[in-house]
A and B are shown apart, each in its own frame.
Chain A
Amino acid sequence: MTTTRTTFSSPLDLQSVRADFPILSRELAGGFPLVYLDSANSSQKPRQVVQAIEDHYLIHNANVARAMHQLGAEATAAYEGGRDKVAAFIGATNSDEIVFTKNASEALNLAAHTLGASLKPGDEVVITEMEHHSNIVPWQLACERTGATLKWFGVTDEGRLDLSNIEELITERTKVVALTWVSNALGTINPITEIAAKAHAVGATVVVDASQAVPQLRVDVSTLGADLLAFTGHKVTGPTGVGVLWGRYDLLASLPPFLGGGEMIEIVRMTGSTYAPPPARFEAGTPPIAQAVGLGAALDYLSGIGMDKIAAHEHAITAYALKGLKTVPGVTILGPAEAVDRGGAISFELDGVHPHDVATVLDTRGIAVRAGHHCARPVHERFGVQSSTRASFYLYTTPEEIDALVDGLGFVRSFFKVA
């Protein structure tokens, strides 16, 4: 790899961080070192997380809550320990405000389903045009079920939320405002607290998709303004198969169950059942136990490094990448072109080459990016494009990897003869 081309400064010791992620020293076909620029899709996992999961399965494994033996007690303590770590990590005052789900999509479906139970015709749900499909479709379904109306904020040419019509959008008819904190497609960081204040002024509930925020920003739900907040484990260096819905306890306690089954009940009679208090009410069946343990280890890992440092690194590497991409002729960046209120996912078009072809050619040089609509088709439609290439970064991303991307794009242009 080449030396860094413009100044770059990060508070992280990247060499020591990367040593925790064995996959990052892999070679791919053709002898190319892996350049992993797809962390917004799924992050890589440090040894510490894999070790915690292994220890759990090899030493402490049993079902939780219902097993009347020592291993059951250990597994329960480990699972609930994961819950405590999540609560502490996002600033929740009470671990009972943490509901484990299988992923962020399930968390958002849980929110839409349970909040949707009290929607009726005339009520309105407000989302945004930059949402991931996971924060669009559940609300479409809830509105179809109940006769409520779905509305949405548009997106400006710069890739910011268009708040110019906020007074018309958020009214006394608004029951739910659901929006992403950091856009997975545009990278935009949205002003959650400001929008939440408007929503709360009309009595609406605020649901935040924090799937891209929790990995890279310090989160404090006690001051954010969200009433419910969803994220997933596998984007924060944790395992797949576990997601989180945080909710204000009094709100969670007022919501009906989502899925029915074991552990979510109080008393079951053939004529009807009563339900456990949160979080158990929303955790039917055997939960993702080892995954919750792994998620706890991941959050310990990130805390050990320091979320402020990780956020500063993400900002620095994003600024470096924006600069580098602008040197490639024919590149158009979707979303904010400067690293201001912007997360570490950059979607772009390369004139004359389709994103799939960009991704395939980069892949043959060991560079992993995502190509497509990134589960955010409406925002691509907003910008008049069918798909884009996305490079995304995390605490282990180096400026040399960005240089490899920039060089790779030059190669793509010459290969397709657009240079």
Chain B
Amino acid sequence: MQLDSLYQEIILDHYRSPHHSGLAEPYDVEVHHVNPSCGDEVTLRVELDGDVVTAVTHDSVGCSISQASTSVMSDLVIGKPVADGMATYEKFLELMQGRGNVEPDEEVLEDGVAFAGVAQFPARVKCALLGWSAWRDATAQALATKEGVHNA
């Protein structure tokens, strides 16, 4: 097992100084997600303007992989339409579930390609997905709320 392929410098950099860390106002929805098996926790806030993600902030406790992944995810989705973020997630998920056989798309995943090595550590895939699952949940709730307002 290649430790250096798991812990790429980019991951360690994001771990040491995570982007968009610290919960900020204003926000539409706040969620709290956990990995019950290992105890990693993330509180994450999302703000949308129409269908564009204007802000993602988080406060998390967990390992280097989960913290760095949440940091990279925030970079990838902020300022983009929700649909683009969801498409990026699909690419990232495909990479994580690919057992090392999926060639990462750097155009889409940017710093996220650094997580390619995680796919070879099955026990750590869920760490890399924690922040993403929190963002998807918060965003879906924010869209549903706005939809509700729209229809009212």
Contacts and interface: CB of A to CB of B under 8 A. Distances in A.
Interface of A: 29-30, 354-357, 360-361, 363-364, 371-373, 377, 380, 386-387, 415-416
A363 B152 CA distance: 55
B8 interface: no
B62 A360 contact: no
Given A356-B127, A360-B3, A373-B38, 7 more contacts: A356-B63, A356-B64, A360-B121, A372-B39, A386-B40, A386-B62, A387-B40
Contacts of A361: 3
Contacts, number: 47
11 contacts: A354-B63, A356-B40, A356-B127, A357-B65, A360-B121, A364-B1, A364-B3, A377-B39, A386-B40, A386-B61, A416-B12
Given A364-B3, A415-B3, A357 B39 contact: no
What 4 A-B pairs are tightest by C-beta distance, nearest first?
Answer: A356-B63, A354-B63, A372-B38, A373-B39
A386 B1 contact: no
Contacts of A356: 38, 40, 62-66, 124, 127
Main secondary structure of the interface of A (DSSP, over half): helix
B7 interface: yes
Contact of B7 (A29, A30, A386, A415): A415
B3 to A, nearest CB: 5
Interface of B: 1, 3, 6-7, 12, 37-41, 61-66, 121, 123-124, 127
B39 A29 contact: no
A222 to B, nearest CB: 38
Nearest to B67: A354
A413 to B, nearest CB: 14
B1 A357 contact: no
A406 to B, nearest CB: 19
Contact of A372 (B1, B6, B37): B37
A371 B63 CA distance: 10
Contacts of A416: 12
Given A29-B1, A415-B3, A354 B64 contact: yes
Contacts of B12: 416
Nearest to A133: B36
Contacts of B64: 354, 356-357
Contacts of A360: 3, 6, 121, 123-124
B3 A357 contact: no
